[in-house]
């Protein structure tokens, strides 16, 4: 090898001065030439430094922390496509084990007769559950010689956006029951004004995204029982337990919200919320196989035979499903209880401290899922509102959204914190200091905060 008496550019290659790094990369067309792997890594790694820190993102319900062994399993299994059941029969078997565990946890009369599937999240799960209700209603109407062209779905005005999407994409009329001061959660009152023979189902939410509150599923079922006695209309309930499905079994084990309520036909939950997995997995379970019309089921090759599948997506990551199973094995019932209790303890600690501040009034305290919301106390000040507080907290690194409540309380702005695994008591204490500092700063302003051009904290439905 020729000896060089001066260092060559490529031998030292200081990352931020070599050709590729010194270029700009933000075009909207494919670059003509490639770059070194470590340069590409650095470019992208550096750009996303500008994102918020996910652990300080108190807007999201979705997992932002898993322990190192879970991360190792994730790295080991990123290459698995969940749909390749024939090629990855062990992963397929684990997926089925997971939804049967959930069927059992949610008190299906027989986990053997239940049917379920993993999905990419609760949104896909709710599409499948909604579609099954629509198809079942259509079949019954057709059998009775009645028209099937005007299906409707009854739910709270506080539903997550996935139900608006379901109604839109699958041509179902959404009927929203407004929340009010008298009925801050959908509780089945005046249901007869909304439900009729064209109602394919009623959605009840375990963990309303705005406040974290549970809707009283058994009470809603009672209202539907009375309605059936009076009118003969028999309407099933689907429970959207995106968050609560992984909380209620552990923190409120005696609350009958699941298949213990006979009218509940299906339940969805997000594995990537309180199922404690990184983004990309949800679950839907039906009480019994018969609840899903056969025409929704497709088959894929599996161990030389066929396996029924039920999904909107085809290819999907298998790793998230394996991580869900990791959590089931790693934590067990007791471990899940401990983790969720720890989050609720933090939620109670934070909501208790915020309740004591004269600027605020609590709407919920984290006693259902570990999520709580508050509003500004009437008459506290005209100088600032919760959007200003959200901006102040953002400047201190914390993301705590402020947003209006849904109909009929849209004139009311609230702020919400989602406490997840990973928000420790220590961090919560730092957050409280940031809230106190922000309020002190805002209260001390000599003039009101300008309303023009301020940033709004993102609200995660
Ligand atoms: C988050 C959420 C959804 C949507 O779930 P994804 O897993 O994000 O698709 C649906 N319903 C409720 C109540 C939620 O909180």
Q: How confident is the model over 360-387, as pLDDT tens digits?
A: 999 999 999 999 999 999 999 999 999 9
The pLDDT value given to residue 31? 87
CA 246 – CA 162 distance, rounded (Å)? 19
CA of 137 to the centre of ligand 1 (A): 24
204 forms bridges with which residues in the sheet? 239
Residue 55 DSSP label: G
Residue spans of the domains in the chain: they are 72-328, 333-443
Residue closest to 399 by CA, chosen among 333, 443, 460, 350: 460
CA of 244 to the centre of ligand 1 (A): 10
> Is 364 in contact with 373 (CB distance < 8 Å)?
yes
> Which residue has a Cα nearest atom 5 of ligand 1?
122
> Is 288 in contact with 113 (CB distance < 8 Å)?
yes
Phi, psi of 426 (to 5 degrees): -60, -45
Residue closest to 442 by CA, chosen among 378, 386, 402: 386
Q: Is 118 in the pocket of ligand 1 (CB under 6 A)?
A: no
Q: Is 270 in the pocket of ligand 1 (CB under 6 A)?
A: yes
CA 371 – CA 352 distance, rounded (Å)? 13
The pLDDT value given to residue 437? 97
Indicate the SS3 state at residue 167.
helix
The pLDDT value given to residue 35? 86
CA 90 – CA 318 distance, rounded (Å)? 11
The pLDDT value given to residue 336? 98
Stretch among 27-41, 156-170, 317-331 having the lowest mean pLDDT: 27-41
Same-fold call for 72-328 versus 333-443: no
User: Which two three-digit tokens encode residue 39?
Assistant: 């340069």
- Residues 6 or more apart whose CB falls under 8 angstroms from that of 105 comprise 249
Q: What is the mean pLDDT of residues 100-111?
A: 96
The pLDDT value given to residue 455? 53
CA 299 – CA 87 distance, rounded (Å)? 15
User: Which two three-digit tokens encode residue 264?
Assistant: 């509940």
User: Which two three-digit tokens encode residue 335?
Assistant: 């471990």
Q: Is 70 exceeded by the pLDDT of residue 191?
A: yes
User: Which two three-digit tokens encode residue 392?
Assistant: 């102040």
Q: Is 280 in the pocket of ligand 1 (CB under 6 A)?
A: no
Residue closest to 208 by CA, chosen among 237, 188, 179: 179
CA of 306 to the centre of ligand 1 (A): 31
Q: Is 70 exceeded by the pLDDT of residue 294?
A: yes
Q: Is 119 in the pocket of ligand 1 (CB under 6 A)?
A: no
Residue closest to 53 by CA, chosen among 391, 392, 346, 398: 398
CA 22 – CA 280 distance, rounded (Å)? 35
pTM, full prediction: 0.94
CA of 171 to the centre of ligand 1 (A): 20
Strand residues in 357-398 grouped as ranges (E): 360-362, 371-376
CA of 162 to the centre of ligand 1 (A): 7
Q: Is 123 in the pocket of ligand 1 (CB under 6 A)?
A: yes
Q: Is 102 in the pocket of ligand 1 (CB under 6 A)?
A: no
CA of 122 to the centre of ligand 1 (A): 5
- CATH architecture, range 333-443: Alpha-Beta Complex (3.90)
Q: Is 323 in the pocket of ligand 1 (CB under 6 A)?
A: no
The pLDDT value given to residue 95? 97
Mutate to test the pocket of ligand 1, among 270, 281, 282, 459 (most ligand atoms within 8 A of CB): 270
Mutate to test the pocket of ligand 1, among 208, 210, 268, 273 (most ligand atoms within 8 A of CB): 273
CA of 160 to the centre of ligand 1 (A): 6
6-33 tens-digit pLDDT: 555 455 566 666 665 666 667 788 988 8
> Is 117 in contact with 99 (CB distance < 8 Å)?
yes
CA 335 – CA 341 distance, rounded (Å)? 10
- Residues 6 or more apart whose CB falls under 8 angstroms from that of 95 comprise 82, 117, 118, 318, 321
Residue 195 DSSP label: -
- Say which CATH topology domain 72-328 has: 3.40.640
Mutate to test the pocket of ligand 1, among 130, 160, 185 (most ligand atoms within 8 A of CB): 160
Residue 179 DSSP label: P
> Is 122 in contact with 162 (CB distance < 8 Å)?
yes
């Amino acid at each position: 090898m020729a000896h060089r008496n001066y260092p060559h550019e490529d031998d030292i290659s200081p990352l931020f001065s070599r050709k590729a790094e010194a270029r700009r990369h933000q075009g909207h067309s494919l670059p003509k030439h490639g770059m070194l792997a470590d340069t590409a890594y650095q470019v992208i790694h550096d750009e996303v430094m500008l994102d918020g820190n996910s652990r300080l993102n108190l807007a999201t319900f979705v997992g932002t922390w898993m322990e190192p062994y879970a991360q190792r399993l994730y790295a080991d299994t990123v290459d698995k496509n969940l749909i390749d059941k024939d090629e990855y029969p062990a992963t397929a078997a684990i997926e089925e084990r997971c939804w049967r565990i959930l069927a059992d946890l949610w008190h299906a009369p027989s986990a053997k007769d239940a049917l379920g599937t993993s999905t990419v999240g609760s949104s896909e799960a709710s599409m499948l559950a909604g579609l099954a209700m629509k198809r079942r209603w259509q079949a019954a109407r057709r059998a009775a010689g009645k028209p099937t062209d005007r299906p409707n779905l009854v739910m709270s005005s506080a539903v997550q956006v996935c139900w608006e999407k379901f109604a839109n994409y699958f041509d179902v009329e959404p009927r929203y029951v407004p929340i009010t001061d008298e009925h801050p959660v959908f509780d089945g009152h005046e249901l007869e004004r909304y439900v009729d023979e064209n109602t394919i189902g009623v959605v009840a939410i375990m963990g309303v995204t705005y406040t974290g509150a549970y809707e009283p599923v058994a009470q809603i079922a009672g209202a539907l029982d009375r309605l059936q006695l009076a009118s003969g209309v028999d309407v099933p309930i689907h429970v959207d337990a995106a968050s609560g499905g992984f909380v209620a079994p552990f923190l409120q084990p005696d609350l009958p919200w699941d298949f213990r309520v006979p009218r509940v036909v299906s339940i969805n939950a997000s594995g990537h919320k309180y199922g404690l997995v990184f983004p990309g997995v949800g679950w839907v379970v039906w009480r019994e196989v018969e609840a899903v019309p056969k025409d929704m089921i497709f088959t894929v090759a599996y161990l030389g035979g066929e396996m029924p599948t039920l999904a909107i997506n085809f290819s999907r990551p298998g790793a998230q499903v394996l991580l869900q199973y990791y959590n089931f094995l790693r934590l067990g019932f007791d471990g899940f209880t401990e983790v969720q209790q720890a989050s609720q303890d933090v939620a109670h600690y934070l909501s208790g401290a915020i309740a004591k501040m004269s600027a605020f009034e609590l709407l919920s305290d984290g006693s259902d899922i570990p999520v709580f919301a508050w509003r500004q106390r009437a008459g506290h000040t005209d100088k600032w509102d919760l959007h200003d507080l959200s901006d102040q907290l953002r400047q201190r690194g914390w993301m705590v959204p402020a947003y209006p409540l849904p109909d009929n309380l849209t004139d009311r702005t609230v702020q919400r914190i989602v406490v997840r695994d990973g928000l420790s008591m220590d961090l919560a204490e730092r957050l409280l200091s940031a809230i106190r500092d922000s309020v002190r700063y805002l209260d001390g302003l000599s003039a009101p905060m300008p309303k023009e051009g301020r940033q709004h904290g993102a609200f995660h439905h």
